[in-house]
Amino acid sequence: YNFEDAIIISRKLVEDDTLTSVHIVDYMIEVRETKLGPEIVTRDIPNVSEDALRHLDDDGIVRIGAEVHPGDILVGKITPKGEQELSSEERLLRAIFGEKAKEVRDTSQRMSNGKHGKVVGVKVFSRENGHELKAGVLMQIQVFVAQMRKISVGDKLGGRHGNKGVIARILPVEDMPFMEDGTPVDIVLNPLGVPSRMNIGQLFETHLGMAARALGMKVASPSFNGVPINKIQSLLKDAGLPEDGKQQLYDGRTGGAYKERTTVGSMYMIKLNHMVADKIHARSTGPYTMVTQQPLGGKAQNGGQRFGEMEVWALEAYGAANTLQEMLTIKSDDVYGRSKAYKSNIKKTEIVGPKVTESFNVLVKELQGLGLKVDLVASDQLVDAEAVLATNIHDEATHPSKVEAPTSAISDVDVTEEEAASGGFEFEDSEGHPITEEFSDDGAFVTATNDGDDDMTGTDEGEEV
């Protein structure tokens, strides 16, 4: 459980609140003067139930000591709104019942998504009390919400030598390794975190900490001018400890001795502000970006998880074609496929295949902006470009009437009615040899040339005969 800088800690640290921390978040609410009138802090908020107002006092500000959760109102505030801001529902009610629309909208400050705690303080700043506020601001209200967090799996710990890591497992005290006198260790670190990084200060701190604790003294060891190794050894010897700083540990689960002796000592470990409670995030559906119609990113925007190039390679390596397809279409920017997937889930039918994604449409538009004509052709209308080109060349070769033919020696020929009716005509070339040209039913023509010899040569739709 402790590879890749992961850390194992004892449950004793959780129960004794050794690494428990208190976090205070402050919410600042501004009450402004608008073109339609001033904003008002009040408990009387339209379309809000009495249960949602349970934490507010008579002025519309949350009470100190209230336990608040995501979505709870901290400060009730209403803002005047104009006629153009009416919702479609309000316009409908007004048209049917002739009701006068509510002239205010709810702009209350609520608890952030995923946050909870206890209100520990409220401060109110106003011009009347002599506070200096920004232009257009009538009042400022600051609410402090505190939260106590015990250490948990996923939280980050760090020493004073860049030796940081994430807690991977919290073990019962009886399962932790223990020393010969039965004292269990509190934290287990991986020795592989030392050689490659060469931050051996953590080893010196562990040795010195063990000696100083046993001798009841404090040690200051500045960088580049610290305690020499022989001094550390003498301190350990004075404390009645092994000079190499290592001790025999025993497995808490089996009771058996470990094969090698282990470095044991005291070290400062600090809880860092990167906590799993702030990082954890999940999304089913949510907002999409305007241009590409892909999900937004980040916890603050209720965004989706980025599925990048390397993640695509992983699914390709597994051969998970269907999973990859839905990741890149209906779970991303296939707008048509998304709505169809909803309907299929409701009707319990099979989800239809993907359509063209919005990001591809954006690519097409960018190419068109560069002056490249891009046409999208349905799969049943696909054509072979080389075949079309060959057909056009053949048509030009076999149907001169379709192209502008150059003037030749046989261009001016008088055709009699009999020749025209027979579908062909005869004439002589420049050397006096007779040439017969006949048209076939499909529009192609056959020419035969008598060059004065017994042999006849000619062409049939471009083929030699």
Q: Is 276 helix (H, G, I), strand (E, B) or coil?
A: helix
Residue 83 clears pLDDT 90, i.e. is over it: no
The CA distance from 226 to 418, in Å, is 120
Amino acid 460: pLDDT: 45
Q: Which segments of 128-281 are extended strands (E)?
A: 137-149, 156-158, 164-171, 187-188, 246-247, 262-263, 270-271
Quick one: tokens of 62? Answer: 């949350």
The band of 454, judged by pLDDT with boundaries at 50, 70 and 90, is very low
Residues 113 and 219 in one domain: no
Residue 455 clears pLDDT 70, i.e. is over it: no
The band of 135, judged by pLDDT with boundaries at 50, 70 and 90, is confident
Answer yes or no: are the C-beta atoms of 297 and 303 closer than 8 Å. Answer: yes
Residues 175 and 252 in one domain: yes
Residue 408 clears pLDDT 60, i.e. is over it: no
| 3-state SS track over 57-112 | CCCCEECCCCEECCCCEEECEEEECCHHHCCHHHHHHHHHHCCCCCCEEECCEECC
Domain for residue 160, yes or no?
yes
Residue 236 clears pLDDT 60, i.e. is over it: yes
Q: What is the DSSP letter of 379?
A: G
Domain for residue 119, yes or no?
yes
The CA distance from 332 to 413, in Å, is 69
Give tens-digit pLDDT for 328-337.
Answer: 999 999 999 9
The band of 385, judged by pLDDT with boundaries at 50, 70 and 90, is confident
Q: Is 425 helix (H, G, I), strand (E, B) or coil?
A: strand
Residues 120 and 45 in one domain: yes
Residues 206 and 100 in one domain: no
Answer yes or no: are the C-beta atoms of 30 and 142 closer than 8 Å. Answer: no
Domain for residue 277, yes or no?
no
List residues bridging with 26 in a β-sheet.
144
How many domains does the structure of the chain reveal? 4
DSSP line for 151-194: --TT-EEE-SSS-EEEEEEEE-GGGS-B-TTSPBPSEE--GGGT
Residues 133 and 221 in one domain: no
Domain for residue 195, yes or no?
yes
Residues 417 and 458 in one domain: yes
Cα separations in angstroms, 438 against 269, 449, 465: 101, 12, 15
The CA distance from 253 to 174, in Å, is 7
Residue 126 clears pLDDT 60, i.e. is over it: yes
User: Where among 248, 271, 294 does a domain terminate?
Assistant: 271
Domain for residue 381, yes or no?
no
The band of 237, judged by pLDDT with boundaries at 50, 70 and 90, is very high
Residues 247 and 191 in one domain: yes
Quick one: tokens of 323? Answer: 């999973």
Q: What is the mean pLDDT of residues 429-456?
A: 51
Residues 266 and 288 in one domain: no
Cα separations in angstroms, 296 against 32, 282, 284, 337, 339: 30, 13, 13, 18, 18
The CA distance from 440 to 204, in Å, is 102
Amino acid 429: pLDDT: 57
The CA distance from 342 to 351, in Å, is 9
Range of the structural domain that residue 141 is part of:
21-149
Domain for residue 397, yes or no?
no
Give tens-digit pLDDT for 159-190.
Answer: 999 999 999 999 999 999 999 999 999 999 99
Write the burial class of residue 40 (CB in 10 Å: 0-12 exposed, 13-18 middle, 19+ buried).
Answer: middle
Cα separations in angstroms, 88 against 16, 48, 235, 429: 57, 19, 80, 85
Lowest mean pLDDT among 303-317, 342-356, 430-444: 430-444
Quote the percentage of the chain above a pLDDT of 70: 84
Domain for residue 460, yes or no?
yes
The CA distance from 240 to 366, in Å, is 76
Q: Give me the chain's average pLDDT, please.
A: 84
Residue 428 clears pLDDT 90, i.e. is over it: no
Amino acid 113: pLDDT: 81
Residue 112 clears pLDDT 50, i.e. is over it: yes
Amino acid 85: pLDDT: 65
Amino acid 207: pLDDT: 95
Residues 303 and 319 in one domain: yes
Q: What is the mean pLDDT of residues 403-426?
A: 48
Domain for residue 377, yes or no?
no
CATH number, domain of 43, equals 2.40.50.150
User: Where among 104, 134, 149 does a domain terminate?
Assistant: 149
Residues 161 and 251 in one domain: yes
Give tens-digit pLDDT for 307-317.
Answer: 999 999 999 99
The band of 401, judged by pLDDT with boundaries at 50, 70 and 90, is low
